[in-house]
């Protein structure tokens, strides 16, 4: 690795240019164009009276007449929740014109705007084509969100926004140092999703051991039902249940070593044991035929139709598949089963963390407006609207009071309660997007589950990907504190 920050920054610029994240000739302009209004953030209001009241109501010194440009990932959560929050923003700033765009192609749509120095004010950087957050952070292209986090919360001015968030959300937005570059709006519970109704048809309950998982899958196979399916075209969904399984077997530190790109981290016995267990699903014919060719919607549809019992996914699946879900489906999420008695963590160990990464570009024309919209979204009204609309939690700690939760969300709440302190949060998908999705996901795990690589071959291939990334000075590195 380069010994100076200047060296790594030059290489980052080269790498980002190759990826299409930036156009090198515009870099000086992008770097020089600080988040508009940074100086305004430091302006003091008069003590008491109208100035004090305005400071509480509009603490980010938003220009109420400035346009606001918002791009939302139109995926599992849709985009209506953002439009509703924008309507609340409009009530507070009636002169502001809001341009709203929804797309599944975040990278292709937004990268050219970064290149031209005219990025949106707020971006939901999510989905299969999201921009690499680690690269954006390394190139200093994002606004530090500490001003938002230190602002009074919408519902209780005596509380800072940061003090209303779920544990770990602020830390997820920190890549190195105290700056917070990303605000994860949704709070996602990952795991093995299933239908209580379809298990009951087999006179079974969710299996708490891997031996029982195989028995349930065998029983289903005899009835003409597959045990598992997954998003074969997007095999980075597999880690949603596989990573917490690895942690359960070998302990949370295994995942931390993996996140830190440590040498031989993927050769840990817990990784091999987990891979061999999943590979057995393929070998015994428990995976729905044709799964490697299915995208996330097709695999979820097959699951909703009862063609497979289990699917690795996140809690957005309830909203994303609601049009295909039978009324009596009783959707639920399960934690990874226990492999054997030597597991380092108890049954119930779960991956839950912030999802839907929102960012405010540093060269945005109205970064204060972007942060203010996030402040609105983290109010109780917008949170409850999101929960009711998309069957998922937000990063606001609470917000479910008085709401009747749908089955999947109620199950997510129960799983979180059961997990207690045994919640893991792998960072690979945040720190190294390309490594996680394209290489580990498509290049290795997808190949293993399709039967084209053995577990040992998969581990060797992944470790090579990781070693290459660790040695690549143009890739900004991050580590657990």
Predicted TM-score (pTM) of the model is 0.80
Write the CB contacts of 180 (distance below 8 Å, at least 6 apart in sequence): 144, 145, 146, 149, 170, 173, 174
Query: Which fold would CATH assign to domain 189-353+426-471?
Result: D-Maltodextrin-Binding Protein; domain 2 (3.40.190)
> What letter does residue 439 receive in the DSSP assignment?
I
Q: Please, what is the Cα angle at 310 between 308 and 315, to 5 degrees?
A: 125
Following DSSP, what letter does each residue of 273-286 receive, concatenated? Answer: HHHHHHHHHHHTT-
- pLDDT for 285 equals 98
Following DSSP, what letter does each residue of 87-126 receive, concatenated? Answer: HHHHHH-TT--EEEEEES-HHHHHHHHHHTT---SEEE--
Q: Tokens 């987990």 map to which residue? A: 274
- pLDDT for 176 equals 81
Beta bridge partners of 98: 68
- pLDDT for 290 equals 98
- pLDDT for 57 equals 55
- pLDDT for 8 equals 43
How is domain 5-185+356-396 classified at the architecture level of CATH? 3-Layer(aba) Sandwich (3.40)
User: Which H helix or E strand runs over 312?
Assistant: strand 308-314
- pLDDT for 36 equals 33
Q: What values do phi and psi take at 87, rounded to 5?
A: -65, -35
Give, for all 481 residues of the chain, the pLDDT tens digit.
333 333 344 444 344 444 444 433 332 232 233 233 333 333 333 334 444 444 445 789 999 999 999 999 999 899 999 999 999 999 999 999 999 999 999 999 999 999 899 999 999 999 989 999 988 999 899 999 999 999 999 999 999 999 999 988 999 999 888 999 999 999 999 999 999 999 999 999 999 999 999 999 999 999 999 999 999 999 999 999 999 999 999 999 999 999 999 999 999 999 999 999 999 999 999 999 999 999 999 999 999 999 999 999 999 999 999 999 999 999 999 999 999 999 999 999 999 999 899 999 999 999 999 999 999 999 999 999 999 988 889 999 988 888 899 999 999 999 999 999 999 999 998 899 999 999 999 999 999 999 999 999 999 999 999 999 999 999 989 998 7
- pLDDT for 14 equals 42
Q: Tokens 């190139």 map to which residue? A: 139
Give me the residue spans of the domains in the chain.
5-185+356-396, 189-353+426-471
Alpha carbons 432 and 330: distance in angstroms, whole number:
35
Please determine whether the domains at 5-185+356-396 and 189-353+426-471 fall in the same fold group of CATH.
Answer: yes
In angstroms, how far is CA 46 from the centroid of its own chain? 41
């Amino acid at each position: 690795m380069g010994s100076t920050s200047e060296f790594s920054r030059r290489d980052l610029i080269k790498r980002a240019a190759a990826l299409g994240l930036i156009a090198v000739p515009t870099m000086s302009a992008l770097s020089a164009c600080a988040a508009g209004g940074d100086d305004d953030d430091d302006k003091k209001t008069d003590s008491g009276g109208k100035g004090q009241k305005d400071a509480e109501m509009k603490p980010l010194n938003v220009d109420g007449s400035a346009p606001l440009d918002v791009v939302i990932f139109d995926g599992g959560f849709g985009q209506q929740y953002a439009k509703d929050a924008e309507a609340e923003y409009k009530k507070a700033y009636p002169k502001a014109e809001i341009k709203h765009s929804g797309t599944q192609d975040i990278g292709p749509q937004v990268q050219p705007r970064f290149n031209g120095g005219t990025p949106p004010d707020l971006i939901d950087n999510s989905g299969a084509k999201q921009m690499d957050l680690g690269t954006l952070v390394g190139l200093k292209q994002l606004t530090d969100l500490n001003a938002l986090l230190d602002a009074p919360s919408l519902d209780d001015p005596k509380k800072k926004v940061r003090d209303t968030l779920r544990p770990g959300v602020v830390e997820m937005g920190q890549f190195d140092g105290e700056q917070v570059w990303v605000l994860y709006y949704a709070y996602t519970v990952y795991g093995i999703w299933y239908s209580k109704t379809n298990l009951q048809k087999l006179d079974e309950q969710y299996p708490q051991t891997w031996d029982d998982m195989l028995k349930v899958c065998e029983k289903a196979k005899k009835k003409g039902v597959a045990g598992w399916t997954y998003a074969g075209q997007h095999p980075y969904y597999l880690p949603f249940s596989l990573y917490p399984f690895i942690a359960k077997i070998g302990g949370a530190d295994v995942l931390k070593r993996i996140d830190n790109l440590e040498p031989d981290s993927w050769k840990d016995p817990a990784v091999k044991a987990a891979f061999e267990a999943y590979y057995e699903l393929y070998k015994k014919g428990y995976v729905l035929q044709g799964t490697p060719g299915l995208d996330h919607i097709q695999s979820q549809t097959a699951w909703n139709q009862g063609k497979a019992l289990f699917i690795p996914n996140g809690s957005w699946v309830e909203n994303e598949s609601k049009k295909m879900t039978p009324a009596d489906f009783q959707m639920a999420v399960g934690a990874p089963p226990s492999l054997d008695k030597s597991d380092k963590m108890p049954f119930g160990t779960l991956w839950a963390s912030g999802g839907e990464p929102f960012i405010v570009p540093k060269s945005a024309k109205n970064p204060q407006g972007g942060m203010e919209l996030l402040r609105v979204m983290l109010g109780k009204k917008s949170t409850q609207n999101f929960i009711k609309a998309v069957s998922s939690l937000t990063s606001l700690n609470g917000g479910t009071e008085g709401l009747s939760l749908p089955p999947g969300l109620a199950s997510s709440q129960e799983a979180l309660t059961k997990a207690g302190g045994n919640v893991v949060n792998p960072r690979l998908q945040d720190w190294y997007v390309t490594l996680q999705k394209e290489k580990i996901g498509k290049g290795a795990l997808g190949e293993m589950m399709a039967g084209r690589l053995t577990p040992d071959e998969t581990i060797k291939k992944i470790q090579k990907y990781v070693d290459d990334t660790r040695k690549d000075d143009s890739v900004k590195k991050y580590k657990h504190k």
